[in-house]
Copies of this chain bind each other. A is one copy, B any other.
Amino acid sequence: MAQQLTQAERDAALAKLPDWQVAEGRDAIRRTFVFNDFNQAFGFMARAALVAEKMDHHPDWSNVYKTVDVTLSTHDAGGLTERDIALAEAMDRIAEVG
C-alpha cells in the first residue's frame, strides 16, 4: 500500500508540479484546469479517466463547462502519496497535449 509522503518527498514532488496547490483542510493537492470549451474539458476528463482506471487511482473532480477542478489524495493512506503525484503528472501531460 502507498505510504504518505514525508515532508522532504512532498517538497520535492510539489516543486515538479508548479500548477498544483496544497488543498485547504485536507492532505491533498488541487489544480483547476481551464480549457476552451466543454468539448476540450471533457476530452481531458476522458483521457484522464482511462489513465486513472489503469492506475487504479481516481481523482475527486468537478466540471462546469470548460473548467475541471481536480483534487488528489490517497484515501487508503489518509493523505498524499506517490500515486497522487504520478496522477498529477499524467494529468498535466494530458492537458498540455490538449
Contact = CB atoms under 8 A, between A and B. Distances in A.
Contact of A38 (B46, B53, B64): B53
A62 to B, nearest CB: 4
What interface size band does chain A fall in? 10 to 19
Q: Give how many copies assemble into the complex.
A: 2
A35 interface: no
21 contacts: A38-B49, A38-B52, A38-B53, A38-B58, A39-B53, A42-B49, A42-B53, A45-B45, A45-B49, A46-B46, A46-B49, A58-B64, A58-B65, A59-B63, A60-B62, A60-B63, A60-B64, A61-B62, A61-B63, A62-B62, A62-B63
Interface of A: 38-39, 42, 45-46, 49, 52-53, 58-65
